[in-house]
């Protein structure tokens, strides 16, 4: 297996898939509030993806995952399964959306606050967003995957937080997860060199405490071992001739 370099036609389809994934996160914001269950959030996203976007929610039945989005609350790191849990004031929740349109995937996640966040939560969420942006800003032809991982890890550890190692970003296209693996830690100059037409995600998971994680008995939900808060943001990125394009960019975001 090897890294698939997208053709101009495939890049156009990735742009569409990325935009749709981003629009799900924009749509769901107003529904994330105290008293709502993660199942309700899932169902609103599912309905929007299937009926409004006429797209496919990629997580549903992916390796047996039972819902259409992932919702990970507080010390949950990733892959939380939507269910009966009621969001309450002070919670923070990551909603991770992946859609398939015209055979191509767009994958993006964002942190939402329920009511008023603690100072700790705000610091972690802000720092994690910055870590993702620092990784993205490295992207251009000729740099290596290790350069991206190193930039993220250096920034996070300088701020006394830790990078989760068990889960990483990934190539994306016709497949949800394809080569290469995009580690959020590493050494400069190590690993695959980037070339125009590559598409992959950058999605650092950052813990306020130690980096170690545990899998819950549901076999999906990943939590921090020390129960410290964990945050994550994710974008799908295209390597261009002179840098990058954020395929899942939302209107409030801008680069350069």
What is the nearest approach in angstroms of ligand MF3 to the Cβ of residue 89? 27
| Interacting residues with Co ion between 107 and 126 (CB under 5 A) | 107
145-158 vs 119-138: helix crossing angle, rounded to 10: 150
What is the nearest approach in angstroms of ligand MF3 to the Cβ of residue 64? 8
Convert residues 78-107 into a mask of x (bound to ligand MF3 by CB under 6 A) and - (unbound). Answer: -x----------------x-x--------x
Convert residues 48-77 into a mask of x (bound to ligand MF3 by CB under 6 A) and - (unbound). Answer: -----------x--xx-x----x-------
- DSSP character for 62? G
For residues 129 and 160, which CB has a smaller minimum distance to ligand MF3 in the complex? 129
For residues 58 and 156, which CB has a smaller minimum distance to Co ion in the complex? 58
Q: In angstroms, rounded to a whole number, what is the distance separating the alpha carbons of residues 148 and 165?
A: 14
Identify what 15 binds: ligand MF3, Co ion, none; CB under 5 to 8 Å per kind. none
For 190, the token pair is 């190590």
Tokens 């191509």 belong to 104
Q: HSE of 160 in the Cβ direction (CA atoms, 13 Å)?
A: 3
What is the nearest approach in angstroms of ligand MF3 to the Cβ of residue 21? 10
For residues 62 and 88, which CB has a smaller minimum distance to ligand MF3 in the complex? 62
Q: In angstroms, rounded to a whole number, what is the distance separating the alpha carbons of residues 29 and 31?
A: 5
For residues 201 and 207, which CB has a smaller minimum distance to Co ion in the complex? 201
Is 201 a binding residue for Co ion by CB under 5 A? The answer is: yes
Q: Report how far apart, in Å, the C-alpha atoms of 177 and of each of 17, 49, 187 are.
A: 15, 20, 23
Q: How much of the chain is helix, strand and coil, in % rounded to 5?
A: 30, 25, 45
What is the nearest approach in angstroms of Co ion to the Cβ of residue 77? 12
Is 234 a binding residue for ligand MF3 by CB under 6 A? The answer is: yes
| Interacting residues with ligand MF3 between 156 and 215 (CB under 6 A) | 201, 203
* Residue-by-residue DSSP string for 10-53: HHHHHHHHHHHHHHHHHHHGGG--TT-BHHHHHHHHHHIIIIIS
Is 178 a binding residue for Co ion by CB under 5 A? The answer is: no
Q: What DSSP element (H or E) covers 141?
A: none
Binding test (CB under 5 A) with Co ion, winner from 96, 138, 147, 178: 96
Closest CA to 27 of 67, 55, 65, 6: 55
Identify what 45 binds: ligand MF3, Co ion, none; CB under 5 to 8 Å per kind. none
What is the nearest approach in angstroms of ligand MF3 to the Cβ of residue 119? 28
Is 144 a binding residue for ligand MF3 by CB under 6 A? The answer is: no
- Chain mean position to CA 217: 23
The contact set with ligand MF3 (CB under 6 A) reads: 59, 62-63, 65, 70, 79, 96, 98, 107, 201, 203, 234
């Amino acid at each position: 297996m090897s890294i698939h370099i997208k053709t101009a036609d495939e890049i156009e389809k990735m742009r569409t898939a990325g935009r749709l994934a981003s629009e799900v996160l924009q749509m769901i914001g107003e529904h994330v509030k105290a008293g709502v269950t993660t199942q309700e959030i899932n169902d609103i996203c599912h309905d929007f993806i299937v009926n409004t976007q006429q797209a496919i929610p990629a997580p549903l039945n992916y390796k047996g995952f039972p819902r259409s989005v992932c919702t990970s609350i507080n010390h949950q790191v990733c892959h939380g399964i939507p269910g009966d849990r009621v969001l309450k004031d002070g919670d923070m929740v990551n909603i991770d959306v992946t859609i398939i349109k015209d055979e191509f995937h767009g994958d993006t996640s964002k942190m939402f606050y329920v009511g008023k966040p603690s100072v700790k939560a705000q610091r972690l969420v802000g720092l994690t967003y910055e870590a993702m942006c620092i990784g993205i800003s490295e992207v251009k032809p000729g740099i290596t995957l290790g350069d991206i991982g190193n930039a993220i890890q250096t920034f996070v550890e300088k701020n006394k937080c830790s990078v989760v190692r068990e889960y990483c970003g990934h190539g994306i296209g016709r497949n949800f997860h394809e080569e290469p693996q995009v580690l959020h830690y590493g050494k400069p100059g190590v690993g695959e060199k980037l070339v125009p037409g590559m598409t992959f995600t950058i999605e650092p998971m950052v813990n306020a405490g130690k980096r170690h994680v545990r899998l819950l008995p549901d076999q999906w939900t990943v939590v921090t071992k020390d129960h410290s808060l964990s945050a994550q943001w994710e974008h799908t990125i295209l390597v261009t001739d002179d840098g990058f394009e954020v395929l899942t960019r939302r209107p409030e975001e801008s680069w350069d």
